[in-house]
């Protein structure tokens, strides 16, 4: 609101306050319809301001101008509704707490628990039109402001001394009657109906100056108070200019920063979906630079770094996302997947439990838990989670259903039912052009390659593995390629791949298991047994790798070592079928008890 200067256009009543008879108590309560009107008028302006950064932020994700306009209208409407609901709710809470303005024979209380302003303390009253406020918020009538001026209660000390000196100069020794400074108390008209506000103005002006003035621009004050009013007016005017500049700068900086952050974030999401992870990383990094507390930007940055094989940075930034949003399920699941890839099964399980506690029906979390159970030999639990995801997904072509189908096919391969696995995988695409978005195509290619390899179709397995490696040369893809090269008797290439894997992740038992299989193909039993021993020593141990170690020990005639590995596997998974088969084959029936 803006203050009009005190000039000749305002009516000046140069009269001293006249004593009046005791009045009955009058309470002017805030009007519910006026508060609702204030909510409506302000919501349009506020929603428009808030939509400005959204207009910039929506550009990357909009394919056409029409789509951009529709998305912007949606954001504007949401901001309008939210502001109206919460602002009007706040105003009604304030209405209940304040209890309105109370007038009685002693003075005025501007709210229920406010300090009493005695009638004798009121030195001036003004009523002003607020044209700018009325135009900004589209009022069909001019909003007004009632201002009640009372002497400054300076108290004691330095300020008190200043007040006394000033008072003496202004009033020639009558400091107790003429104040040097006055304090304004504002009462805006938008809390009341026009009739209520006019009655309030009339009641106050009649009681203080014996002039029943309605809600028209006017200043009522004795002549001797004018110097104090001028000083107060100058101070308030300067204060408003400074505050307005600070607010304008603050809002401008906030909107500019929000626009940069949201634009960078949305541009990063677009690039991420397109597979441009390096450019996406730059966009997410810009968003986190301007808004360090924006958890989704840290999540996007970590995801880009993960796809660029910067696993340490990815882990750090996912933890940063969780620092600012501890209940961020997506970040927990992503960090769990990274832990799974690094074979930190305990941390992976902990994160997945936390994520599922927050969102028990989260399909991605259940798929990661199924992947964890698959890798650790808990096949039945993995199958249950995969089937549950398929049953609860409404879209049969979703990326969650895609991944769940791949997990079921992987279970079939492990169970020795590779033909059934190929049947499950047959409807799923093998090229990126046929994907809808977000599907884990690499995993589908690797599972298909393993199924073809198990059925002796080495050329098809080689083709799918090469396609997977084109998408990313991770340990899983390299190990499958080593299997393919071993099956096709390209032992030198297989050995080179395994050496590369060993240098990258020396604690992965599958590297040594595949090396032992390569040694077996080359009839090098001593090296194979050494590799199996290294695989057995890898930590953390899991039931699936231990059962494979036991099987290979048995193929080399190391019966006792096979039994020990199978027993260790059964401790981790008591119903492990592969370990149970090895025990049954190597021990007499009476020893099973």
DSSP string, 131-169: HHHHHHTT-SS-EEEEEEEEE----SSHHHHHHHHHHHH
Radius of gyration over every alpha carbon of the chain, rounded to an integer in angstroms: 39
Residue 147 belongs to a domain = yes
pLDDT reading at 192 higher than 80: yes
The answer on pLDDT for 313 being more than 60 is yes
* Count of H-run helices and E-run strands, the chain: 24, 9
| 442 in a structural domain | no
Among 479-488, 507-516, 578-587, whose mean pLDDT is lowest? Answer: 578-587
Report the alpha-carbon distance of residue 292 to residue 135 in Å, rounded.
38
Neighbouring C-beta atoms of residue 359, cutoff 10 Å:
16
DSSP conformational letter for 118: E
CA dihedral 475, 481, 483, 488 (to 10 degrees): -170
Q: Is residue 228 pLDDT above 90, yes or no?
A: no
Number of domain units in the chain: 1
What is the maximum alpha-carbon separation in the chain?
120
pLDDT digits (tens, 9 = 90+) for 253-290: 888 888 888 889 989 988 888 878 889 999 999 999 99
97, part of any domain: yes
Split at pLDDT 50, 70, 90, the class of 160 is: very low
Using a 10 angstrom Cβ sphere, with 0-12 exposed, 13-18 middle and 19 or more buried, the burial of residue 395 is exposed
Which one is predicted more confidently, 179 or 214? Answer: 214
353 located within any domain:
no
Which range marks the domain in which residue 184 is found? 11-244
Q: By three-state DSSP, how is residue 308 classified?
A: coil
The answer as to whether 379 is a domain residue is no
Cβ–Cβ under 8 Å, residues 50 and 155: no
Nearest CA to 122 out of 174, 184, 166, 186 is that of 184
Domain membership of residue 506 (yes or no) is: no
pTM of the predicted model as reported, rounded to 2 decimal places = 0.70
pLDDT at 472 over 80: no
% residues pLDDT > 90 (the chain)? 31
Read off the pLDDT of residues 5-40 as tens digits, 9 standing for 90 and up: 434 333 444 444 444 444 578 999 999 999 999 999
pLDDT at 440: 82
**130 lies in some domain:** yes
pLDDT at 135 over 60: yes
In a domain, 47, yes or no: yes
Check residue 12 and give its pLDDT: 41
Mean pLDDT in the chain? 84
Residue 570 has pLDDT above 90, yes or no: no
Tell me what pLDDT residue 5 has: 42
Q: What percent of the chain has pLDDT over 70?
A: 90
Mean per-residue pLDDT for 408-432?
Answer: 88
| Residues 271, 274: Cα–Cα separation, whole Å | 5
């Amino acid at each position: 609101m803006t203050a009009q200067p005190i000039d000749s256009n305002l009516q000046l009543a140069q009269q001293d306050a006249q004593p009046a008879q005791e009045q009955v108590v009058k309470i002017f309560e805030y009007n519910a319809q006026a508060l609702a009107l204030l909510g409506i008028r302000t919501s349009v302006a506020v929603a428009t301001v808030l939509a400005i950064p959204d207009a910039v932020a929506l550009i990357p994700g909009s394919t056409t101008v029409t789509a951009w306009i529709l998305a912007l209208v949606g954001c504007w409407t949401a901001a309008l509704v939210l502001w109206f609901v919460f602002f009007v709710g706040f105003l009604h809470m304030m209405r209940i707490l304040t209890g309105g303005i109370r007038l009685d024979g002693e003075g005025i209380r501007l709210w229920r628990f406010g300090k009493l302003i005695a009638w004798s303390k009121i030195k001036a009253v003004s009523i002003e039109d607020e044209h700018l406020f009325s135009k900004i918020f589209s009022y069909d009538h001019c909003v007004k402001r009632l201002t009640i001026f009372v002497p400054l209660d300076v108290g004691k000390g330095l300020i008190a001394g200043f007040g006394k000196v000033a008072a003496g100069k202004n009033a020639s020794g009558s400091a107790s009657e003429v104040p040097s400074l006055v304090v304004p108390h504002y009462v805006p008209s938008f809390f009341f109906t026009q009739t209520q506000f006019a009655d309030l103005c009339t009641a106050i002006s009649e009681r203080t100056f014996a002039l029943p003035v309605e809600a028209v621009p006017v200043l009522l004050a004795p002549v001797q108070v004018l110097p104090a009013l001028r000083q107060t007016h100058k101070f308030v005017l300067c204060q408003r200019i400074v505050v307005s500049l600070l607010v304008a700068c603050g809002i401008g900086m906030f909107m500019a920063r929000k626009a940069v952050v949201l634009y960078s974030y949305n541009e990063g999401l677009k690039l991420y979906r397109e597979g441009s992870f390096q450019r996406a990383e730059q966009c997410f990094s810009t968003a986190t630079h301007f808004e360090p507390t924006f958890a989704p930007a840290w999540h996007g940055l970590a995801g880009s770094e993960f796809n660029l094989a910067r696993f340490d940075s990815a882990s750090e930034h996912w933890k940063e996302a969780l620092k600012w949003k501890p209940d961020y399920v997506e970040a927990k699941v992503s960090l769990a997947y990274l832990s799974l890839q690094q074979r930190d099964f305990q941390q992976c399980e902990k994160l997945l439990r936390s994520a599922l506690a927050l969102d028990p029906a989260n399909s991605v979390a259940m798929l990661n838990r199924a992947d964890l159970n698959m890798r650790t030999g808990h096949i039945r639990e993995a199958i249950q989670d995969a089937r549950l995801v398929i049953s609860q997904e409404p879209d049969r072509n979703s990326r969650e259903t895609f991944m769940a189908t791949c997990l079921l096919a992987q279970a079939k391969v492990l169970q020795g039912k590779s033909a059934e696995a190929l049947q499950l995988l047959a409807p799923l695409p093998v090229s990126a052009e046929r994907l809808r978005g977000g599907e884990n195509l690499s995993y589908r290619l690797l599972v298909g390659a393993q199924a073809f390899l198990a059925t002796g179709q080495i050329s098809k397995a080689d083709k799918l593995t090469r396609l997977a490696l084109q998408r990313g040369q991770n340990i899983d893809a390299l190990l499958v390629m080593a299997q393919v090269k071993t099956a096709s008797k390209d032992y030198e290439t297989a050995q080179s791949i395994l050496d590369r894997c060993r240098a990258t992740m020396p604690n992965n038992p599958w590297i040594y298991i595949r090396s032992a299989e390569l040694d077996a193909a080359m009839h090098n039993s001593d090296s194979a047994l050494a590799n199996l021993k290294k695989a057995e020593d890898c930590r953390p141990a899991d039931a699936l790798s231990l059962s494979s170690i036991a099987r290979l020990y048995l193929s080399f005639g190391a019966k006792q070592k096979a039994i020990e590995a199978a027993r260790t596997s059964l401790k981790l998974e008591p119903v492990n079928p592969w370990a149970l088969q090895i025990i049954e084959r190597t021990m007499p029936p009476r020893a099973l008890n």
